[in-house]
């Protein structure tokens, strides 16, 4: 496991990621080439190379669309022993093998997989932002879930299971996967926050990974989950709207990666909850499903499930349409950034009022014009600079110059001010506690509060201090 810079962010990579990447290649040899020596044995012991190879041959790499490329590269980049050149040649192989005549067969699979993964870059980005920013909320753990601690533990087990303990869980897990497809669905909400966990506490992550042995199915699954992260967020978000109890839970899972717990089976959740998930976001579920089945397939070499209901997407032919790959990638990045604007018919502006303690007036901001917390925070900082400046000066910080971008954050960090928002339910929360997209959806008002006033609202901050203590 290592931390590597990608796209301007530090990303933690684990054996899990490596394994997932290997899903792109058909030679088992590559596993040894890619994974550092220490890991090889572990990998070997934990999944059956033959079935792995079979799987890949069946799928002939076409489960991945070019739109995934960025994600794949991102993950490949994380493997220290891989040279860039080597990565490229792997990618070349995989692209070329997606040969057009055979495409039809796997078309559906492809489409299933591709759509969530398109979001991947965003997912990565977002989580890293969460992980790295010094904005108040971020480092906080799943405070909101505290009340539900018991439940949490249950689900944490589930999470734990996913990550796996050496040797112990693999067979059980497998059967679960086979028997309880719905169990998979259940996990969806669990996963999204895993990545942010990575960002937040790399040290604990290390532990997790060190003891990390999984069957390949898990891995594969995990991979798709990671890729579908942003996507999963959405579904999570939706059923948040639907049922109050679930989302905090969800938050909790991600936040307690280190918790070790008893063996609780994935299906800990009530079927009712699953049903509601399905109802709320049928499309998401459908699209998710293939991931799950994919994972199973790795072990079972059975792809029949993949033919599940999927919107027929265009078959993707390598090199068609003839758009420079540079352009494709660049546009993929920027269109993601613009998705907030473009996603809906017409760029519906989303104005929210912003108030600040001590400021004589309110301002309005259009949340759709920002794509990260960072942008929002710097914009707010500019709007209210006169006031923070004053504050700043009065507290002896260097306030003479124009505020640098980090000033407000510094202020926030230094507990002078915190940025809070009122969510759909009318509760005041700390900005930064959820992924940006979700924040945009739920935010009704913004308030820059004196942190002393915000303590009540900021259980996460308190929580954090508890943890530290």
Partner 1 sequence: MMNYFPDEVLEHVFDFITCHKDRNSVSLVCKSWHRIERYSRRRVFIGNCYSISPERLIARFPGVKSLTLKGKPHFADFNLVPYDWGGFVYPWIKVLAETGIGLEELRLKRMVVSDESLELLSKSFVNFQSLVLVSCDGFSADGLAAIAANCRFLRELDLQENEVDDHRGHWLSCFPESCTSLVSLNFACLKGEVNLGALERLVSRSPNLKSLRLNRSVPLDTLQKLLMRAPQLVDLGIGSYVHDPLSEASNKLKHAIQRCKSIMSLSGFLEVAPRCMSAIYPICGNLTTLNLSYAPGIHGNKLTKLIQHCRKLQRLWILDCIGDKGLGVVASTCKELQELRVFPSDPFGAGNDAVTEEGLVLVSAGCPKLNSLLYFCQQMTNAALITVAKNCPNFIRFRLCILDPVRPDPVTNQPLDEGFGAIVQSCKQLKRLSLSGLLTDQVFLYIGMYAEQLEMLSIAFAADSDKGMLYVLNGCKKLRKLEIRDCPFGNAALLEDVGKYETMRSLWMSSCEVTLGGCKTVAENMPSLNVEIINESGQTVFNLDEGQKVDKMYLYRTLVGHRKDAPESNQTYLKCRGDLTRSDHHEPSLNDMIKDMKLKNISGDDDFIISESNNFKLQSQLFEKEEAEIMILKWKRL
Which C-beta is closer to partner 1: that of 2 or that of 207? 2
Which residue, 165 or 379, is less far from partner 1 as judged by CB? 379
Closest approach, Cβ 346 to partner 1, in A, equals 7
CB 348, min distance to partner 1, A: 12
Q: At what angle do helices 405-413 and 385-394 cross, to 10 degrees?
A: 50
Q: How far is the CB of 406 from partner 1 (least distance, A)?
A: 14
d(CA 78, CA 66): 19
SS3 23: coil
- Pair 52, 299: CB distance under 8 Å: no
Any bridge partners for residue 366, and if so which? 351
Nearest approach in angstroms of CB 322 to partner 1 is 5
Do 446 and 419 form a contact (C-beta atoms < 8 A)?
A: yes
Instruction: Give the bridge partners for 418, in sequence order.
Output: 449
Q: What is the smallest separation between the CB atom of 53 and partner 1, expressed in angstroms?
A: 13
Question: Which residue lies nearer to partner 1 by CB, 241 or 313?
Answer: 313
- Cα separation of 285 and 287, whole Å? 5
Q: Which is nearer to partner 1, 77 or 292 (CB)?
A: 77
User: Which residues does residue 4 pair with via DSSP β-bridges, in sequence order?
Assistant: 11
Q: Please report where in the chains the tokens 């709320």 appear, as a residue.
A: 280
Residue 115 CB, nearest distance to partner 1 (Å)? 10
Nearer to partner 1, 301 or 328 (CB): 328
HSE-CB at 138 with a 13 A cutoff on CA atoms is 22
231: CB partners within 8 A, 6+ apart = 115, 116, 119, 123, 284, 287
Cα(202)–Cα(215) distance, rounded to whole angstroms? Answer: 23
Give the Cα separation of 186 and 277 in Å (integer). 9
Contact 293, 308 (CB under 8 A): yes
Q: Which is nearer to partner 1, 26 or 140 (CB)?
A: 26
**Residues in touch with partner 1 (CB under 8 A):** 5, 7-8, 26, 65-67, 84-85, 88-89, 91-93, 95-97, 99-100, 114, 313-314, 316-328, 330-331, 334-335, 337-338, 341-342, 346-347, 365, 369, 375, 379, 382-383
Q: Which is nearer to partner 1, 314 or 395 (CB)?
A: 314
- If the CB atoms of residues 207 and 334 are measured against partner 1, the closer one turns out to be 334
Residue 282 DSSP one-character state = H
Q: Which is nearer to partner 1, 99 or 270 (CB)?
A: 99
Nearest distance from residue 58's CB to partner 1, in Å?
16
Say which residue the tokens 């707010």 belong to.
Answer: 380
From residue 1, how far is each of 43, 227, 262, 469 by CA, in Å? 14, 18, 26, 28
Provide the token pair at 399.
């306030």
Q: Please report how close the Cβ of residue 401 comes to partner 1 at its closest, in angstroms.
A: 14
Minimum CB distance to partner 1 smaller for 57 or for 465? 57
Q: Which residue number, 70 or 214, has a Cβ lying nearer to partner 1? A: 70
Per-residue b/e over 209-232, b at no fewer than 16 CB within 10 Å?
Answer: beebbbbbbbbbbbbbbbbbbbbb
Q: How far is the CB of 127 from partner 1 (least distance, A)?
A: 19
Instruction: Please tell me what DSSP assigns to residue 312.
Output: P
Radius of gyration in angstroms for the set of CA atoms belonging to the chain, rounded to a whole number: 23
To the nearest whole angstrom, how small is the minimum distance from the Cβ of residue 400 to partner 1?
Answer: 18
Can you say whether the dihedral through the CA atoms of 3, 7, 9, 12 is positive or negative? negative
In this complex, which beta carbon is closest to partner 1, that of residue 26 or of residue 377? 26
Least distance from partner 1 to the Cβ atom of residue 228, Å: 17
- Please report how close the Cβ of residue 82 comes to partner 1 at its closest, in angstroms: 13
Q: Reply yes or no: is the peptide bond before residue 227 cis, omega within 30 of 0.
A: no
- Close Cβ partners of 227 (under 8 Å, ≥ 6 residues apart): 68, 71, 116, 117, 119, 120, 123
Q: Is the Cα torsion angle 277, 428, 351, 388 positive or negative in sign?
A: negative
């Amino acid at each position: 496991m290592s931390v590597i810079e990608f796209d301007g962010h530090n990303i933690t990579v684990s054996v899990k990621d490596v394994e997932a990447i290997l899903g792109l290649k058909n030679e088992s040899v590559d596993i040894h080439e890619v994974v550092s020596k220490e890991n090889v044995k572990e990998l070997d012991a934990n999944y059956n190379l033959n079935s792995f190879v079979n799987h890949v041959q069946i799928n002939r790499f076409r489960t991945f669309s070019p739109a995934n490329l960025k994600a794949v590269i991102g993950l490949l980049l994380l493997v220290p022993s891989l040279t860039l050149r080597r990565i490229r040649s792997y990618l070349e192989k995989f692209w070329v093998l997606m040969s057009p005549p055979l495409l039809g067969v796997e078309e559906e699979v492809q489409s299933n997989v591709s759509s969530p993964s398109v979001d991947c870059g965003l997912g990565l980005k977002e989580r890293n932002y969460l992980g790295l920013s010094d904005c108040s909320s971020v480092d906080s753990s799943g405070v909101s879930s505290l009340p539900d601690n018991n439940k949490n533990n249950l689900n944490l087990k589930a999470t734990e299971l996913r990550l796996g303990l050496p040797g112990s869980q693999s067979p059980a897990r497998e059967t679960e996967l086979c028997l309880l497809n719905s169990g998979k669905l259940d996990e969806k909400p669990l996963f999204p926050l895993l990545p942010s966990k990575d960002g937040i506490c790399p040290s604990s992550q290390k532990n997790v990974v060190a003891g990390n042995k999984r069957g390949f199915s898990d891995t594969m699954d995990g991979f798709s989950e990671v890729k579908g992260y942003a996507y999963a967020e959405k579904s999570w978000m939706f059923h948040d709207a639907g049922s109050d109890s679930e989302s905090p839970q969800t938050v909790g899972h991600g936040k307690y990666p280190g918790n070790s717990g008893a063996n609780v089976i994935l299906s800990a959740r009530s079927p009712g909850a699953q049903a509601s998930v399905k109802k709320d976001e049928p499309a998401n579920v459908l699209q998710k499903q293939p991931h799950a089945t994919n994972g199973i397939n790795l072990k079972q070499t059975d792809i029949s499930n993949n033919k599940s209901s999927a919107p027929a997407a265009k078959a993707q032919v390598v090199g068609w349409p003839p758009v420079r790959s540079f352009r494709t990638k660049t546009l993929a990045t920027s269109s993601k950034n613009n998705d907030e604007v473009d996603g809906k018919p017409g760029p519906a502006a989303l104005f929210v009022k912003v108030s600040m303690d001590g400021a004589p007036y309110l301002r309005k901001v259009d949340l759709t014009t920002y794509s990260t917390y960072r942008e929002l925070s710097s914009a707010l900082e500019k709007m209210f600079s006169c006031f923070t400046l004053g504050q700043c000066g009065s507290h002896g910080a260097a306030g003479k110059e124009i505020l640098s971008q980090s000033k407000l954050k510094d202020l926030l960090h230094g507990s002078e001010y915190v940025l809070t928002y009122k969510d759909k339910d009318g509760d005041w929360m700390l900005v930064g506690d959820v992924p940006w997209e979700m924040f945009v959806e739920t935010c009704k008002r913004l308030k820059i509060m004196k942190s002393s006033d915000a303590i009540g609202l900021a259980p996460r901050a308190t929580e954090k201090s508890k943890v530290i203590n």
